[in-house]
Every structure is written in structure tokens, then in C-alpha cells.
Amino acid sequence: MRVVTEFTSPHLLALTNSGSERALKGEVVAAGLGWRPGFQAKGMVAFKAGDGVGEFGREALRERLAFARRVSLFAGKAGTREGAEEVVRGVGGAGMVVHHLGLEKGRLVGMGGGVGEGRLADGAVVGTVIEVGPEDYWTGLHWHGRLLSPDPGGASGVEMPEDAPSRAWLKLEEAVRFFDLRFRAEDVVVELGCAPGGVILALLRRGVSVIGVDPARLAPVVMASAVAEMPGAGVGGTVPWVVHCRKPAALVSKRDLGGRATWFMSDMNQSPAVAITECRRCIGMCPSIRSAVITLKLTDFAEASAQGEWLAAMRAMGFRTVRLQQMAVHHRELALVGLERSEK
């Protein structure tokens, strides 16, 4: 079976959240990539190769843009969905995976053909068919790789269960899918700003125990797994638990963390600087932390101009892999992810 390893195009297609198109274009300019914005539709921006760039190739897809859930090489257009799939398969080969995105209430959403499927193999050729308008379908091609969402347009379409107490459940589940996050039975997560418990519920149902920090109450569905104090290592079998530390994040002590946390998570209504500072402080008190997922709350997308500082701060904490990403479930938010932390 033919496997395409190289392809060039004069255009790139970048998929983003509706309303983030301007932020994406600003990010491209700030990064000095030399990409010139061209056609734009809701949730999609096409870029042309600027002077000195020539045509885009596979290397252009390695650029990590916080406001782009998916970047692909433009492969052509067609007037029907079926015709567009033929176009992209003509470039990528009959055996490639093809994702379809359709317009639903003015938003691009996955239309099967990928939603809920397993992880794609690294290097797998993926085509995307995008419904831009009536009888107007654009196609793109990319290669799957680490820290890329396996889902159509970088959006899993995961739906929140009725008993989930907050949208934070969606943010955690989308991050797990997008970044292929993996948890072990012995993991313990410390989450700041945890109430009412959306992230905690998602973690408990994945078999992961949590130290939740927030002066506000947790939902009853979460408190059903609450214990008064952290069980000792190896005690309590495989039943996940939650310890609710009812105090502000700034007052959390080394004793509260118990020396066993392996993940740091935060969904606080605080500035990015405060959230990152608290991550650093928790790591100082609990060096066993190896991974972090921080939801950064923005008052304006212009704040993302500080992303270089945020990523540098995470690297300074010892995280070898760092990523900043707006996910489909985000509003004015970004996920800051740190993995594989090693002690300095």
C-alpha cells in the first residue's frame, strides 16, 4: 500500500475555535513564520506561502501554534463531500484515514469517520474534508504524531455526562484525548480550584485519586468518594479516593500534599502568572510531581503574547515536554501541559 511521506502545497489550512481566528493570525505574525493569511471561514484560516517561503512542506506542520487545533497542507477543493474525499485520497492514498468536518449551527464539528476511534499510529497519513459552505469543500493532509489530537479537526466531540458537576470534566477528558495522557493506578493528582469537582469526577472514574484544593463545596457525586485523610501508600486497594482540602490555593502546605502527588492540575479563576506560580510552589513542596495540566484563564486573547514566558517557566521547573493549546471545549482559555519532569 502506498504511503505518502512528502507533499508540498502553496497553502496551509489551520483549524481553530470560532472566534479565535484573529488570535491565530496574530500568533503566526508574532512567531515570524512568514505565512500570509488568505481565505478565512468560521473556524478556519488559510495561509499562503510568503516571500522566501516557497511551497509548504511537511516541516511547516511541525510548528506548534496554541490557537490551531489542526494544521494541514491544502490538497484541493470540490463541490461535494464525496468529491472532496476523492481529491484528498488522490494525494494521500486509498488507505489513508479521512476525517470529515461539517457545519452545525455555524461551527465545524466532526461527522464520524474518526470520532471515538483509537489512537492513530505515528506517521499515519490523515486527510481532512472541511465543509466551508454549500457545495464548497476544502481538503487538507497531515501526518499524525505525538501531542496531536487523533480526532477530526482536533475535537473529540466528547459529551459531558448528566452527573458531571461542571465543564471542567470536559476539559480534562479532551486533554486526555488530545495529548494521549496516561495515568497509573498509583498516581495521585493535586488539583487547585477543584470545586465543584468536574475534573475530580473524571479522574475518579479513571481510577485516579485526587487531593482537591478549594474552599468551596464539592458536588455530592464527588464527595461519595471522599476520605478524611490520605490513605497510606498501598493502603485502600484499588478504590480511588478524594481528599478535600478546604482552603485557598495560596495556603496549601507541604503537609496537605502528603509527598505523594504525581500530577499537578489547576482550573483556578486566576491569572496565568498566578496559576504557574502555584504549580512551581507545589512542585517545591512535592518533588514527586512529574506532569501538569493547567487551564489558563484569559481576560483577552492578547495575553497569549506571553506564551514564550509561560513555556520557559514550565521548562525551568524541569518539564522536558511542554505544550500550550486551545482545545475545542475551551472558551477564553488555554491548556498548558508539562510532561516528563525531571528534577534539576
Which residues, 6+ apart, have CB-to-CB distance to 63 below 8 Å? 31, 33, 71
Stretches where the chain sits below pLDDT 70 are: 1-3, 112-118, 233-237, 344
Domains of the chain: 11-154 (3.30.2130), 168-341 (3.40.50.150)
The CA distances from residue 211 to 199, 221, 228, 246, in Å, are 11, 16, 11, 10
Q: How far apart are CA 315 and CA 313, in angstroms?
A: 5
Residue 218 pLDDT: 98
pLDDT at residue number 114:
44
Q: Which of 73, 76, 82 has its CA nearest to residue 100?
A: 82
Q: Do 159 and 143 touch, CB atoms closer than 8 A?
A: no
Instruction: Decide if 28 contacts 119 (C-beta within 8 A).
Output: no
Helical (H) or strand (E) element with 272: helix 272-285
Give the chain's length.
344
The pLDDT of residue 104: 82
pTM for the full predicted model: 0.94
Q: Output the pLDDT for position 333.
A: 98
Q: What's the CA gap between 229 and 231, in Å, rounded?
A: 6
pLDDT at position 237 is: 59
Query: What are the distances in angstroms from CA 168 to CA 26, 41, 102, 138, 319?
Result: 28, 28, 26, 33, 23
Residue with cell 513555556: 311
Output the pLDDT for position 188: 97
List pLDDT tens digits, range 72-95.
999 999 999 999 999 999 999 878
Report pLDDT for 149.
95
Residue 116's pLDDT is what? 47
